[in-house]
Structure 1
């Protein structure tokens, strides 16, 4: 009794699929549509009407007639049985309740069933991952590489140098990120998918850092624009593309010093006259110095710290404004990492090798602060006794580098770099106090240099530059303090209306040092082995391979991933003597029709040839399978012949039935076949008609006219028959009464292009045209046109969100479809190259069947 009461309480009354309200005889009256489903009288008029007097059933998604001009929903019959059932159930309960209906359980069930369905392509990444990265992928033809070796030194090593290219005529720099290396395989992934797969397989920390750099620096003030990622499709190298301005600071420094410095031989005159000419050049220094501070502050605004800088890291635009180039910063960081690695490997002791390393790094003239140097040496396992493990690289580390650059600007680029770097080999020889003494001696040398250059007129500038070079980061000034001091050279403090503003803003607590990050510690050797290892790891985890569960709960690996990594079987089915015209699957067999007037039957288990159906006297144009109590195979030929073959435990040698449609000498027979359950066979003919034949007695049921040329393709889905024609249109017919529903496409003479193939999956329709265009409709609204520009598309197939199409270009292209109810997005996933023109394409339960003009059928499947 308790169980019965619980069942009564849990009962959900029939409700409208649109408003989810329980039906009644007053406000939510159920009206019956021609497909047999019901919806309430109030909701039906509010459903979208794409075409006159036609709506889609909200339950089965079929196109059905709606009497819009004859009373609307009120003219449709009431569902009396449904109302009676609800009334009886309510009377049966002793305490009737007014239920608050929920979403029907059937929808949950359908979702569960879909989740167990077989998908063709692996989900290498989530949709969220693709959404994050897709806008950073540059078009394949957007970059043109000009020359190698934009950066100084190490130009022979592509990992620590820059390429120079052009983007829409603008000069850009390209920084190597890694290689999207794929094993040689039959399946060729598209450009975007290869980059996405490369990003997905990157080390998580490296990928996060790359994302941080892209997001932070794209539109940051005083930072060269970062455009995104581009891949060289020839070798798979992926690059970070960054704006590259006219000239760098090193060139400007040389020009500036040539104007204001008098030289006598190799020595700079340092007297009153020299100071006077330096005073004349001070405004130029002040302007550039302020913009250097602004560029560095802009970098810090997003929590980014360079760690080391060089004159080459700063560029000038056409207006003379200074910008920091993130690609140059990364290149410099990679060179410093390489140098420190070699230095640590030498034992940090003076030797010919360390001297060579020192000479190489002095040529670049980087400003490497001690915090970064100690941190890098510590990462290389060098044990130091003066705080190497406790030093942290932060904003004040960049202030040290800024101070060195400003002093170099004043001194013409000298700054005793050689003397400073002579201190570094002594890190492994001196104690902390001894090394600190040597460093203090170097700072004193810089102090004397500034005193001689600036004299008593620029005491404040002298002091703040010396503070920038303090050993203790806590004693260094903020970048904004340096900016304000330099600004005082141009504007007197009492006249500076901006002097009270906080131009620095707030600094973020989270700091990321570029020179210590993964982007500067990329694998520079054996990239292919690195990529293959990632592939292996992903395969073991089941992520990239895309394990799917079929209806029986068994794990089945994905075909396309098998094609990519070489784990696939390709069987060539040879048996026809002419072009393949159609493919069908059913009853454990593959059926292939051909212009050689035969239909071959192949086993789906071992791809062996089982039998040939012979009897046609003309080219067989198509073949379909009928899944009935007694399975059937139906084929049609260009002479109008229709043959029905038995497909049972033993295949029949002779057709069960054959007949010919009415012949007309002006037209050529049957061009397309389709089947609707076990009720009708549909033929598309050269006489411009679509005919329906009964599967019960094989008689002609009706003829559907409307096309103006050959009906070239037929397909049935959700109670609608779609017919494509050489007249460029697609007509929709109701399966229930074979009445016309609507027409898709433009049949005007100037826009005519023949429809060659159709495929439908639920509410998405794809049509292939003779001019190489593929059009996609979603809910009968044209949503997207794909221009292939590679010749006619003869065959296509849609399975869930995947579109396969092949034709004149001898390739089967795979595209992924996404979007909403009205809009379809498509993106190329990859392609399978064939040796001949593709004339038929079919995907079925993990196998891809490709019919070719060279008489063969290729079958691709995953090999475990």
Structure 2
């Protein structure tokens, strides 16, 4: 058998260089290691064996006693017994989910920062906006303001639906705003989320309008994509542009910026497929931007136009119906490459002829709509009207009746368009007309690329001898999945003008009734426990019973099987302020009242009305009764009092063992964890006391100098300590290191409960708030999961095996559980 060794350096004790020293917890480490261990607080050290915080002499480890028995019995095979409570600490407690989530942690981490705050956006509805001024149909656009310093104008695009705030639901639990949005995203299809991810990732690209994030309208149950809203295009600015050389140069600059915007989208794997005048926006400096929100709106309206023109035929479309679709698109100022329209109809199974070849949509599909938009701007509003008339003159009957090849109809349309362009645009615009002819090629691979169109516009602005100074970087294949915006799932979510709406997105006012069920895998239900005649002050669980104390001076006992009332402990002459359960050879319930009485009740069946024993705390002029109770496995009951002290009592006979002083106000709450007694006070501090000798260890909360926040409740679990304050704040420590401070409520938090990752708080706002605590020793995150509204002030909380017990000031106790 190897000789005993130091648990830090793993060197065997030899009585000289590796000298064993005994800490107050009973564990041993070598003198050198105890000297070098970092000490977070003065005169304390964390034991390297059991990690309990213990006293450490200011003189150093030489003042600690040597482990003489260990030196004498170095070859001994005996092992040191762990101190009381260590086995309890190291044992893994079973985990019970209060609210089960359907999404993984990495999904939440990826999307939570993309959800805007609930009050970040104000909504207004804008009527009468359309594709162009010549459009005969009007649509509704949602816009608003983003409350970010100076209010920014934004556009809103509906992308999802969730349960509205005022919809009836038999679940008492209300999920937090952020988690409701996360759930809505999780219920989306993977392709929809991928598109959103890409769209929100192009915000830094040149020439593309910003997308700020996602925002949920709780009143209507709609999830919106929020984007920057810039100045709209105006036809009046382009009247008679062909007669003005300066205006021609300006238009060429616009063409360059438009090409740069689309090339930026291509870098992110996004092709657009179609374009309209409404998608072109201007910033305050006159720079051209492509509006992503408007592009998606345009795509949705294209689906609506196609649906309107094809719904009446009741069969797959042929050349005639195809002609109607093309005319309607041109009339509404929508410019779309033929292969994109062909693919759109094919995906909707609307074509008589289904091509066996693969999809021909690519980045080249964006050249035609961009170039055609520029020609529309050159020709002005009158040219737009004439072009619409010329397209309306195309008759599908010109095609042979037996031929259903839609390319023939498209060729007829292109010929008429080219003849119109040749007659209306010549001279200075000849280079642009020539490149348009090439862009109209039916083979996407034979068209010029956007960089060629960019160069054409640049040549109209500057001298060719400077051309070598500028060059566009060619697009490199990226890791992102490539997709066409107008053919994507986001454009198919809502079909404007059609009676059919995707099942994933209900009509306005409709909601997914099973939303709560999908999120929590079971609705949160409640059961009321009635019996007290005044406010509930404490809750405890043990021996298959729930114990509750009240200002009515009684302790009620309820069975955990069906939550029925089984017994009442009577005897207190004053209001009962604190309650704990102690498991042991003789399990008992201990209660403390406002008159200083501490009563011990047997929990063995049959239950008795009278206490096993009782004793009273001595009073003085500052006395205001017992405010808190705690118990250690050493057999001591600790009471926190209104005289600013903590007292240790022997559970066996009620003997006062010692009095611990140091707090400057009422000791309101006590917690025992890992060999340390934590005491919280109205003075705003948490003091730590050694359970082995009841000596003071250190103080927490003094880092907020000049700010006094009374501590009303403490909760601790697995090295994590949470303090709740009268101003609605909580503070979280891990191993006595402050990790997080945040406001949970706007008013006092009267009770806090912690179990694993679940943190529950309740108080004056009559609501139980639920947080999920996650992280490690370096960082900690506290996520608001949801809330349970109540009808009265929440006075006490207890979480046990997946059930939440809450006591209220209106005399009731509620049990919340998942109704799976």
TM-score (norm 1): 0.84
1:858 corresponds to which of 801, 814, 819: 814
Question: 1:134 matched to which residue of 2?
Answer: 112
Deviation of the 1:351 alpha carbon: 13
Alignment of 1:30-109 (within 5 A): 31-67=21-57, 69-72=58-61, 74-77=62-65, 87=75
Question: 1:780 matched to which residue of 2?
Answer: 736
Q: 1:351 to 1:403 in 2, by over 3 A?
A: closer
Question: 1:515 matched to which residue of 2?
Answer: 486
Residue 256 (structure 1) aligned with residue 222 (structure 2): no
Question: 1:214 matched to which residue of 2?
Answer: 200
Q: 1:636 to 1:152 in 2, by over 3 A?
A: same
Alignment of 1:442-453 (within 5 A): 442-453=413-424
- Whether the aligned pair in 1 keeps the contact of 2:123 and 2:142 (CA below 8 Å) is no
Q: 1:618 to 1:508 in 2, by over 3 A?
A: closer
Question: Which range moved further: 76-85 or 278-287?
Answer: 76-85
Q: 1:672 to 1:71 in 2, by over 3 A?
A: closer
Residue 562 (structure 1) aligned with residue 551 (structure 2): no
Question: 1:739 matched to which residue of 2?
Answer: 695
1:205 corresponds to which of 187, 191, 207: 191
- Whether the aligned pair in 1 keeps the contact of 2:492 and 2:502 (CA below 8 Å) is no
Deviation of the 1:779 alpha carbon: 2.2
- Whether the aligned pair in 2 keeps the contact of 1:626 and 1:677 (CA below 8 Å) is no
Q: 1:211 to 1:80 in 2, by over 3 A?
A: farther
Question: 2:269 matched to which residue of 1?
Answer: 303
- Provide the aligned length of Structure 1 versus Structure 2: 788
Deviation of the 1:753 alpha carbon: 3.1
- Whether the aligned pair in 2 keeps the contact of 1:349 and 1:425 (CA below 8 Å) is no
Q: 1:452 to 1:682 in 2, by over 3 A?
A: same
Question: 2:217 matched to which residue of 1?
Answer: 232
**Cα distance between partner residues in 1 of 2:74 and 2:395:** 90
Residue 596 (structure 1) aligned with residue 552 (structure 2): yes
Q: What's the secondary structure of 1:70's corresponding residue? A: coil
- Whether the aligned pair in 1 keeps the contact of 2:493 and 2:502 (CA below 8 Å) is no
Question: 2:377 matched to which residue of 1?
Answer: 409
User: Which sections of structure 2, spanning at least 5 residues, go unmatched?
Assistant: 79-85, 495-500
Deviation of the 1:45 alpha carbon: 3.8
After superposition, the C-alpha distances for 1:37-71 in whole angstroms (9 at most, x for unaligned) are 3445444344432210212234433211123x313
Question: 1:506 matched to which residue of 2?
Answer: 476
**Cα distance between partner residues in 2 of 1:423 and 1:393:** 25
- Whether the aligned pair in 2 keeps the contact of 1:378 and 1:389 (CA below 8 Å) is no
Q: 1:138 to 1:82 in 2, by over 3 A?
A: farther
Deviation of the 1:380 alpha carbon: 1.5
Q: What's the secondary structure of 2:523's corresponding residue? A: helix
2:591 corresponds to which of 626, 629, 635: 635
**Cα distance between partner residues in 2 of 1:159 and 1:48:** 68
**Cα distance between partner residues in 2 of 1:589 and 1:656:** 18
Residue 146 (structure 1) aligned with residue 102 (structure 2): no
- Whether the aligned pair in 2 keeps the contact of 1:668 and 1:687 (CA below 8 Å) is yes
Deviation of the 1:763 alpha carbon: 2.2
Question: Which range moved further: 620-629 or 51-60?
Answer: 51-60
Deviation of the 1:754 alpha carbon: 2.1
Deviation of the 1:192 alpha carbon: 0.9
**Cα distance between partner residues in 2 of 1:83 and 1:327:** 78
**Cα distance between partner residues in 1 of 2:5 and 2:186:** 45
Question: 2:604 matched to which residue of 1?
Answer: 648
Question: Which range moved further: 310-319 or 388-397?
Answer: 388-397
Deviation of the 1:400 alpha carbon: 1.1
Alignment of 1:288-437 (within 5 A): 288-345=254-311, 346=313, 347=315, 361-362=329-330, 364-385=332-353, 387=355, 390-413=358-381, 414=383, 416-417=387-388, 419-420=390-391, 435-437=406-408
**Cα distance between partner residues in 2 of 1:670 and 1:802:** 28
**Cα distance between partner residues in 2 of 1:70 and 1:484:** 81
Alignment of 1:185-204 (within 5 A): 185-204=171-190
After superposition, the C-alpha distances for 1:443-499 in whole angstroms (9 at most, x for unaligned) are 233333333344344443321111111111122100001111111111222232425
Residue 163 (structure 1) aligned with residue 149 (structure 2): no
**Cα distance between partner residues in 1 of 2:489 and 2:87:** 45
**Cα distance between partner residues in 1 of 2:305 and 2:682:** 68
Q: What's the secondary structure of 1:496's corresponding residue? A: helix
Question: Which range moved further: 27-36 or 847-856?
Answer: 27-36
**Cα distance between partner residues in 1 of 2:356 and 2:215:** 38
Question: 1:243 matched to which residue of 2?
Answer: 228
Question: 2:498 matched to which residue of 1?
Answer: none
Q: 1:153 to 1:453 in 2, by over 3 A?
A: closer
After superposition, the C-alpha distances for 1:721-779 in whole angstroms (9 at most, x for unaligned) are 11112222221111111101112224999533322111111322111222222222222
Deviation of the 1:194 alpha carbon: 0.8
Q: 1:111 to 1:698 in 2, by over 3 A?
A: closer
After superposition, the C-alpha distances for 1:346-367 in whole angstroms (9 at most, x for unaligned) are 3366999999977864553111
**Cα distance between partner residues in 2 of 1:142 and 1:755:** 32
Residue 488 (structure 1) aligned with residue 454 (structure 2): no
- Whether the aligned pair in 1 keeps the contact of 2:162 and 2:223 (CA below 8 Å) is yes
Question: 1:283 matched to which residue of 2?
Answer: 249
Question: 1:620 matched to which residue of 2?
Answer: 576
Deviation of the 1:384 alpha carbon: 3.8
- Whether the aligned pair in 2 keeps the contact of 1:162 and 1:331 (CA below 8 Å) is no
Q: What's the secondary structure of 2:426's corresponding residue? A: helix
Question: Which range moved further: 588-597 or 137-146?
Answer: 137-146
**Cα distance between partner residues in 1 of 2:693 and 2:274:** 78
1:475 corresponds to which of 437, 446, 450: 446
Higher helix share: 1
After superposition, the C-alpha distances for 1:141-184 in whole angstroms (9 at most, x for unaligned) are 211113345852799x9998443333421111111111122772
- Whether the aligned pair in 2 keeps the contact of 1:349 and 1:428 (CA below 8 Å) is no
Alignment of 1:836-855 (within 5 A): 836-855=792-811
Deviation of the 1:644 alpha carbon: 0.5
TM-score (norm 2): 0.88
- Whether the aligned pair in 1 keeps the contact of 2:327 and 2:392 (CA below 8 Å) is no
Deviation of the 1:287 alpha carbon: 1.0
Q: What's the secondary structure of 2:239's corresponding residue? A: helix
CA-based RMSD of the aligned residues comes to 3.5
**Cα distance between partner residues in 2 of 1:426 and 1:596:** 92
Q: 1:767 to 1:387 in 2, by over 3 A?
A: same
User: Which sections of structure 1, spanning at least 5 residues, go unmatched?
Assistant: 1-7, 91-106, 262-276, 547-560
Q: What's the secondary structure of 1:412's corresponding residue? A: helix
